[in-house]
Amino acid sequence: MSDAGSATGLLVETPVIERVLGAALQRGGEFAEVFVEDRHSTSAVLDDGRVEELSSGRDRGAGVRVVVGETTGYAHTADLSERGLLAAAEAAAAVARQGGGGRAVALERRESVKRNEVGQLPEEVSKARKIELLVQADEAARASGNAISQVSASYGDGRRRIQIANSDGILVADDQVRTRFSVSCVAVGDTGMQTGYESSAFTVGFELFDTVDVREVAATAARRALVKLTARPAPSGEVPLILESGSGGILFHEACGHGLEADHIAKDASVYVGQVGEQVASPLVTLVDDGTIGPEWGSFAVDDEGNSAQRNVLIDKGVLTDYMWDYLRGRKDNRGSSGNGRRQNYRHLPMVRMTNTFLLNGDAEPDEILAQTPTGVYVAKLGGGQVNTTTGDFVFGTVEAYLIEDGHLTEPLRDANLIGNGPEVLRRIDAVANDFAMGPGTCGKDGQSVPVGCGQPTLRITGVTIGGTAGD
């Protein structure tokens, strides 16, 4: 990959950063950090055959953090000159009021481990080529059936170069490239309007489209909309539920993962407080958060505090083994970061965030799980949802689901809500298949959004409440 920065590959030269860190500590701060970011992005949207959006942007800046005891000072600036960075350092240092102190900081460059090589930087590809992909998707979706009335195709790419240095002497950089493509369709029939959606997104360059056919993405989105034109209302009440591989990872991200973030634990705002070493799930469940897995959407070399991405086993065969940690939470508990300190951009403080969160494979065959389920609901695609981390209670929407009768999929079901409790769902998993798959997502927390991956093999939950309308 070509490097657009200085000869050192850094956004700001080392001697400048050392002086800025020294200034940040001048009032007696215990820890100081400089986070520098240079982000390029392109997005394009084709809506009903017309290009509705075609934009490119660049955002550069830095944030300076100073920690004193339980208090954090933070300031950010779009001025990457030494003068601009020193001004931000002085503002952040105001949190330390005792004066004096300060010390020189000597930085040692640490090389980050690349998770995957980028074959073609999206910024080197013409906008016309990107629009061509959108047109192909639009044509493929409309060719799926006359009932398709609306098609929206979206392309996006981004290159995010970051540099982190702190008063512990760490200096590290990362170059993150992401490319995504999605299609949304509306079908109209006797049951009214129905929608379908599909996306593909990885931390790779434009070579994404060497393996991802946008026509297939569009056809999947259209099929989901068309199938629901003949769908019956979903049943209501508690039923056995099968989640297809890759489709339900967001449930475990939201309903379980957030409760395992150390800031929620510290605030006593998680159902998992004090449960390390306890059996919190079925023995079939091993839940992992891993920022190192190749090109998945939540992967990176280093987190936004300069710590290497890690593989963290959170639940091992049903037993809670650990939480996820950033620098501050780890520092307070006399332990290191788990590589989960993330931020939306340089304007924000880092916080504990997931990366790629997923359940590991089991031994069962997916077809056997279905055949051994006399009745229930099969969810082929789960939508968004929300969770109360303190209680673990959640609500999720289904995007594509089917009725299970006599161990077979029969009628498609209209969109409905899944209502339940995260810890209870983990205990009710009684079958896990060997067909693991992942998908991309965007995680929101405290006003910040970051890319994440979610995944799981096909699995069965003995009982989940469906908020359907059948019988109403």
Q: How confident is the model at residue 102 (pLDDT cuts 50, 70, 90)?
A: low
Q: How confident is the model at residue 470 (pLDDT cuts 50, 70, 90)?
A: low
Query: What mean pLDDT comes out for the span 271-280?
Result: 96
Of 74-88, 99-113, 116-130, 418-432, the poorest mean pLDDT is in 99-113
Q: How confident is the model at residue 218 (pLDDT cuts 50, 70, 90)?
A: very high
Q: Mean pLDDT score of the chain, rounded to an integer?
A: 93
The answer, yes or no, to whether residue 246 has pLDDT greater than 60, is: yes
Q: How confident is the model at residue 66 (pLDDT cuts 50, 70, 90)?
A: very high
At position 327, the amino acid (one-letter code) is Y
Q: With contact defined as beta carbons under 8 Å apart, do 206 and 429 qualify?
A: no
The answer, yes or no, to whether residue 308 has pLDDT greater than 50, is: yes
The answer, yes or no, to whether residue 2 has pLDDT greater than 70, is: no
Q: With contact defined as beta carbons under 8 Å apart, do 262 and 329 qualify?
A: yes
The answer, yes or no, to whether residue 233 has pLDDT greater than 90, is: yes
The answer, yes or no, to whether residue 167 has pLDDT greater than 80, is: yes
Percent of the chain with pLDDT over 90: 86
Q: How confident is the model at residue 468 (pLDDT cuts 50, 70, 90)?
A: low
The answer, yes or no, to whether residue 55 has pLDDT greater than 80, is: yes
Q: Helix, strand, or coil here: 87?
A: helix
| Model pLDDT for residues 318-356, shown as the tens digit of each residue | 999 999 999 999 999 999 999 999 999 999 999 999 999
Residue 438: per-residue pLDDT: 95
Q: How confident is the model at residue 211 (pLDDT cuts 50, 70, 90)?
A: very high
Q: Helix, strand, or coil here: 52?
A: strand
DSSP readout, 347-415? TS--EE--SEEEEPP-SB-HHHHHHT-SEEEEEEEEEEEEE-TTT-EEEEEEEEEEEEETTEEEEEE--
Q: How confident is the model at residue 389 (pLDDT cuts 50, 70, 90)?
A: confident
Residue 6: per-residue pLDDT: 40
Residue 284: per-residue pLDDT: 98
- Strands (E) across 69-191 are located at 71-77, 108-109, 148-166, 170-189
| Model pLDDT for residues 84-99, shown as the tens digit of each residue | 999 999 999 998 776 5
| Model pLDDT for residues 415-426, shown as the tens digit of each residue | 999 999 999 999
The answer, yes or no, to whether residue 101 has pLDDT greater than 70, is: no
Integer Cα distance of 285 and 259 in angstroms: 16
Residue 371: per-residue pLDDT: 98
Measured in degrees and rounded to the nearest 5, phi and psi for residue 223 equal -60, -40
Give, to the nearest 10 degrees, the angle between helix 127-142 and helix 214-227.
30
The answer, yes or no, to whether residue 243 has pLDDT greater than 80, is: yes
Answer yes or no: CATH 3.30.2290.10 is held by domain 14-230. yes
Of 9-23, 72-86, 245-259, the poorest mean pLDDT is in 245-259
Integer Cα distance of 15 and 23 in angstroms: 13
137's tokens: 């998707």
Residue 100: per-residue pLDDT: 57
Domain ranges for the chain, please list them.
14-230, 236-467
Residue 3: per-residue pLDDT: 38
Of 94-108, 219-233, 350-364, 436-450, the poorest mean pLDDT is in 94-108
Q: Helix, strand, or coil here: 223?
A: helix
Q: How confident is the model at residue 8 (pLDDT cuts 50, 70, 90)?
A: very low
Integer Cα distance of 244 and 257 in angstroms: 19
Q: How confident is the model at residue 265 (pLDDT cuts 50, 70, 90)?
A: very high
133's tokens: 């992909």
